[in-house]
Amino acid sequence: MSFAPALLKRYPEGRLYLVGGFVRDLLLSRPSKDIDFVVTGVSRAKLVAHLKKHGRVNFVGRTFGVFKFVPRGHNGNGAIDIALPRLDLPKGRSGAYRDVKVISRSSIAIKDDLRRRDFTVNALAWNISERRFIDLGQGLSDLRARVMRTVGRAEDRFCEDFSRMLRGLRFATELNFSVEPKTWQALRSLVHHLNDCRDNVCIVPREVLAKELLKTFYANPVKALELYDKSGALRVLMPELLAMKTCPQPKPYHMEGTVWRHTVLALEVLNSRRFRTFFSDRPDAELIMAILFHDLGKPYTLKTPKKDGVDRIRFDGHDMEGANMAKAMTERLKLASPPMGSHLHVNPEHMEWLISHHLLLLHDRAREMKLTTIEKYFVRHPLATKLQQLILADSLATIPKNGRPVLTHLRTLWKILTRLSGRRQGLPPPLLNGDKLMNILNVPSGPTVGLLLRRLREQQLLGLVKTRQQAEIFLKKEYARTKI
């Protein structure tokens, strides 16, 4: 990056520092996409003029003295953040990150800039020209001890910005760190403020909350659930899940225990060798949340022999109940706010569909399904693969009396799918559509048209009807049969 030595040569009174998460990840030998610099001793105008000589400058962050800089010939991902040092002066203890007066000027000392940051491991700087670390005192030692600790009093840092509590849980999950006791105590005592509102507006924007929550569960679903539960964040943000802890399941079908234990096992499956044997791609946040919510409806549909007189513990309709609840929670938490198509985006309708269909193969129903049904749900549907992944995680987390999860239903499905896709050209396109069918038979639109199209498609997938002429003959015979 030629701009850096040129800047120090042109302005010898200036200092250039690598800061924050990039330094942390460098010391942990973790990949890091974001490169952040702080420049002291060089005015805003001089800094901008210099950067323009070496690349493009985006002024999106200009209010806070931050510039998005793309060096000439830079082939990396995204821009580099280059900032003047700044002070954040909270206007109160509202917990809203916007309630801060920002002072950004080149004369602010680097240590004062670092003191405004959230956690010690994020408050490190590397002086490029002097080749030494700037540490407020505990950042390097906390990195070695793998501990998350706030800069200064935890209560002050969290009350300046309540979303820092979620950031702390995320970093602890992503880095597999513990949380320092005083920081943990403050987090637990203040976590209920995540739902605080002012003038009917959430203090922590739901979009910010969603981003932190999804990043945390994407990093490590099992640890995320544990930290959210023990910190109280689960009770504040997703209280519907807590009923799973005491919800029993019928033996001998579920020897693993409660619905909560089953859900934890299902999340553990995602990082297992057995899951990767079938699906090589890393699960995205939508699949993780679908697994977290897939049995959400069980406690709310629970029937027991003692209370309800049924033959065994039952959860009739829990798939539909859970689907409705999951959709409502996804919407409430704004989990669809990350960019569509990203690994963090969670579509409420997708959640509803996945959970409402997660029992589709129960009791090896794949053997009985028509090929058109298999094609509809497991081939043509955009969530076909994700549904199979959800069913696999659910199945591997269901422990029968002999201790060996049953995958017969999925193996049957995969054999059928292999047979269907084994043709050189893949699945053949439908021979006829509704309009052509109506013209051939001279019939109006209606349920009969859909029924005949499904029967024709079944025959085509079975390989019994291969040409347009054969399709017309089959349809005329079938139509005559329906009129008898």
**Would you give the end-to-end CA distance of the chain in angstroms?**
81
Query: What predicted TM-score, i.e. pTM, was given to this entire model?
Result: 0.85
Average pLDDT score over the chain: 90
378: DSSP letter: I
pLDDT of 181 higher than 60: yes
Share of the chain above pLDDT 90, in %: 63
pLDDT of 77 higher than 60: no
What's the confidence (pLDDT) of residue 131? 92
CA distances from 307 to 71, 197, 311, 314 (A): 70, 40, 11, 11
303-307 average pLDDT score: 94
Domains located in the chain, CATH noted: 3-144 (3.30.460.10), 154-237 (1.10.110), 239-421 (1.10.3210), 434-483 (no CATH)
Distance CA 316, CA 238 (A): 23
- Sheet of 15-19: strand order equals 55-58, 66-71, 80-83, 36-40, 15-19, 124-127, 132-135
Out of 136-140, 270-274, 342-346, 423-427, which region has the weakest mean confidence (pLDDT)?
A: 423-427
What's the confidence (pLDDT) of residue 67? 84
Tally of CB atoms within 10 A around 378: 23
Amino acid at 84: L
For 178, the token pair is: 């513990």
Tens digit of each residue's pLDDT (9 = 90 or more) over 403-460 = 999 999 999 999 888 887 765 456 778 888 899 999 999 889 888 888 888 888 888 8
290-299 average pLDDT score: 98
Distance CA 393, CA 52 (A): 52
What's the confidence (pLDDT) of residue 28? 95
Distance CA 186, CA 12 (A): 43
Distance CA 25, CA 245 (A): 36
Q: Residue 244: name the closest of 139, 137, 397, 368 by CA.
A: 397
Phi-psi region for residue 363, left (φ > 0), alpha (ψ -120 to 50) or beta?
left
For 363, the token pair is: 């009791």
Q: Which residue has the tokens 């002291």?
A: 40
CA distances from 160 to 95, 111, 154, 206, 407 (A): 5, 19, 10, 17, 51
What's the confidence (pLDDT) of residue 44? 87
Amino acid at 190: L
**What residue spans of 55-200 are helical by DSSP H?**
110-115, 139-145, 154-160, 163-175, 181-190
Instruction: Compare 78 and 83 and report the one with higher pLDDT.
Output: 83
What's the confidence (pLDDT) of residue 75? 63
| Degrees, nearest 5: CA angle 403-294-377 | 100
Cis peptide before 252 (omega within 30 of 0): yes
DSSP string, 163-175: HHHHHHHHHHHHH
